[in-house]
Amino acid sequence: MRIIKTAGHRTLDMIDKEKYPNRENQGLEGPFRQQSGHVLYYDTKQGKYYDPSRDMYVEDDELQIMQNPRPPINASKTKDKDDEPKSFTQIFDINREKDKKDKKTDD
């Protein structure tokens, strides 16, 4: 993904309309590209953002990370065992593993 920085704002790449078509007939607004590069739809009935690439709704903490991938200076950071800040990809992978475990316990 290409991000163009200009004075005071960023311009993100265009959304691929073939991959992310209009889904208003399904009650979804969008698509909306997040600063992290993810493309989401907003479900007006659920009041949540839907991630079609994972076929699931995005939790509020994940959405916040997607919208602001770089934490502000002096922000507290989520740390792992090695005391290193976790990237969005690491958090995404952790949540995906958690979802898999939850599905196995539901069976």
The 10s digit of each residue's pLDDT in 32-83 is 888 888 899 999 999 999 999 999 999 988 888 888 766 555 555 554 455 5
Q: What whole-number percentage of the chain has pLDDT above 90? A: 28
Whole-angstrom CA distances from 34 to 15, 25, 107 are: 11, 22, 33
Instruction: Give residue 81's identity as a one-letter amino acid code.
Output: K
Tokens standing for residue 58: 């995005």
Residue 107 has pLDDT above 70, yes or no: no
Q: Is the pTM of this model over 0.85?
A: no
Sequence spans of domains, the chain: 16-106
